[in-house]
Structure 1
Amino acid sequence: MLWSELTWEEIPIALKAVNNAAILPVGATEQHGPHLGCGVDTVIADLLCKEVSRITKVPMLPTLPYGCSIGHSKHWPGTIAVQPITLIEIVKQIGDWAYSSGVRRLFIVNAHVTNAAPLRCALEILRATYDDLMISILHSAQLTERVRHFHFADAEDWHANDAETSLMLAHAPELLRPEKINIADDPDRTEGLLFSHPVNHTSSNGVTGKPSLATLEKGQQGFEWMVNDLSEMILKALNEEPPLNTPYCSH
């Protein structure tokens, strides 16, 4: 159910079958330490949503490969970031056109932590523009408690860690440099800090966590949890309605 593979005649039929729902995966292009390629977040968003789209039959819009990664700094080559205001505007315009095509339930699936704030801003703008458009932002690493534990087991401010390395071992080994995994560990230095620091001030090599703990089996299990939990959430939400039908404007 990939939007890009459907014709203009097929899209209305596909949307009608799932109560006018669509999925928008959002990733990022950013450094992921010495052992992982820069496309990890986009690959996770893309693979996860493709599988969920297959299960739920909800059409999946093309995955956004650029996100708000400015916190990763320019200390390490590889990050291609957009400003928060840019991501807000991109998602707003995607929402405009998706609405015009008939989408009334939009599931934004985010695989990069600091996309959260711009995506929330886009949600606020879109739902104030279209009173009958419902939007949900779902963060791939925090879908449920078991998914969260899988991601946060080795670091609270994790990045390129056990979980992401395990996912790549299981589902995208071409992004891995196996000889670097066991020497890539870097501790989480953010505990007890009040300020939010960019990664160049908290990591020595772009990693936060212990990729040396990664296994293919953990990657398979973690991905299965993510797919099953997200599919269940989306299927349930296909029939959700607003508690009240009061119009947005008073006139």
Structure 2
Amino acid sequence: MQWAHASWDALPAMIGSAANSAILPIGATEQHGPHMGCGMDYVLADILCRAVADKVQVPMLPVMPYGCSIGHSRRWPGTIGISPVTLIELIKEIGDWAYHSGVRRLFIVNTHVTNAAPLRCALEMLRSEHDDMMVAVFNSALISPRVRAFHFADGEDWHANDAETSLMLATAPHMVRADKLAMADDPDRTDGLVFSHPVNRTSLNGVTGQPSAASAEKGAQWFAWMVEDLSALIEKGMQETPPLPHSYFDAASHPHA
């Protein structure tokens, strides 16, 4: 179900058989502490969405490896951040082209926390231009209560923590430097703060949480939950229609609106 592997004459049938749906994974390339590779977010987006695409038989667009990571600062090498405006425009244009290939249900799956606001803006732009297109943004750590619980267990402002490290140990162990885990922990310093501070002012090493507690066993269970719960959301969305049929553009066509 990989969009990039399909020929142009095969895509219409793939999209049509999936209720005109497609999955768009969005990640980031940014520092993830001394113990983990900088591509963790987009690696997770890719692995998670591949598993879900195969499970629900929905075409998956190529993963976006860059995101709005400017809050990580330039204190540590490895971060490649793009501005919120750039991300909004890029996702809007990807959505436009997907629409013209037949996509009417676009499921954006985001694995980097601060992509959320730009992606919501892109959603607003897409649905205001394409009257018959529905767009959903799923932030991977929030797809269900049980997924949220393990992500936030070691800090509200978590990053490169137990959850992310365990997920990588289970699905992409080459991303983790096991010899660095014992010394990588750094606490959440954001409790009670009024302002949202960049990571250089909240973390000593780019981590917030306890990667030392990570294990492949936990990660395998947690990844299975993410696949199951995200698949359920997408399957539900494939059946959804708007509550009312009113056009975005033409009130005159619906005098009882």
Do they fold alike, i.e. is TM over 0.5? yes
Whether 1:171 aligns to 2:174 is: no
RMSD between aligned residues: 0.6
- Tell me how far 1:237 sits from its aligned partner: 1.0
Measured after TM superposition, the shift of residue 224 of structure 1 is 0.2
Match of 2:207 in 1: 207
Partner of 2:60: 60
Corresponding residue of 1:133:
133
Q: Which letter maps to 2:104? A: R
Distance 1:8 1:139 in 2: 30
| Alignment partner, residue 40 of structure 2 | 40
**1:162-208 CA distance string (max 9 Å, x none):** 00010111111111111100100000000000100000000000000
Distance in 1 between the 2:37 and 2:215 partners? 17
SS of the aligned residue for 1:24 comes to strand
Hey, what does 1:79 align to over in structure 2? Answer: 79
> Equivalent residue of 1:182, what SS?
helix
Q: For residue 255 of structure 2, what is the aligned residue in structure 1?
A: none
Show the counterpart of 1:119.
Answer: 119
Query: What residue number does 2:11 align with?
Result: 11
Structure 1: distance between partners of 2:97 and 2:116: 21
Q: Find the aligned partners of 1:184 and 1:18 in 2 and give their Cα distance.
A: 43
Partners of 2:150 and 2:136 in 1: how far apart?
A: 22
- Deviations 1:57-94 (CA, angstroms, capped at 9, x unpaired): 10000000000000000000000010000000100000
CA distance in 2 between partners of 1:245 and 1:82 (Å): 37
SS at match of 2:183: coil
1:90 is matched with 90
Find the residue that maps to 2:25 and give its secondary structure: strand
**1:219 alignment counterpart:** 219
Specify every segment of 5 or more residues in structure 1 that has no aligned partner in the other structure, as ranges. Answer: none
- Count of residues in Structure 1 that have an aligned counterpart in Structure 2: 251
How far apart are the structure 2 equivalents of 1:47 and 1:138?
15
Deviation digits for residues 89-113 of structure 1 (CA, Å, limit 9, x no counterpart): 1000000100000000000000000
**CA displacement 1:108-138 (0-9 Å, x = unmatched):** 0000000000000000000000010000000
**Please, what TM-score do these two structures have when normalized by structure 1?**
0.99
Give how far 1:46 is off.
Answer: 0.4
